[in-house]
Amino acid sequence: MTRTKMVEKGTIAQLSELGSNNFWYPSEEKVHFIRDEIVETKTWLGGNGLQAVKTQLNALGLLTKGFNKKHVIVWVDPADIIKY
């Protein structure tokens, strides 16, 4: 059974950027969640202690005009992920 995971409103996250060997890594650009959000964790390496999560783009406090994707991968502190 998979446990549901959530990130709370106000949580700081780092956007992803393409890096070595075409892998995604956390960038220096930070955003925040504007609402509590159910997320899907990814088992990606290279996050310098951060956890990659898939979330809806409109759950983040950033301008989304011009984005053609509904979801985005961001990196959060694993302690900020609530499992229930």
- Using one digit for the tens of pLDDT, what is the confidence trace for 13-59? 999 998 888 888 999 999 999 999 999 999 887 778 999 999 998 89
Number of domains present in the structure of the chain:
1
Q: Which phi-psi region, left, alpha or beta, contains residue 70 (left: φ > 0; alpha: ψ -120 to 50)?
A: alpha
CB atoms closer than 10 angstroms to residue 21: 6
Name the residue range of residue 79's domain. Answer: 5-83
pTM of the entire predicted model: 0.87
DSSP one-letter code for 77: -
**Angstrom distances, CA of residue 78 to CA of 5, 47, 67:** 11, 11, 27
For residue 13, give both structure tokens.
């996250």
Distance CA 20, CA 55 (A): 23
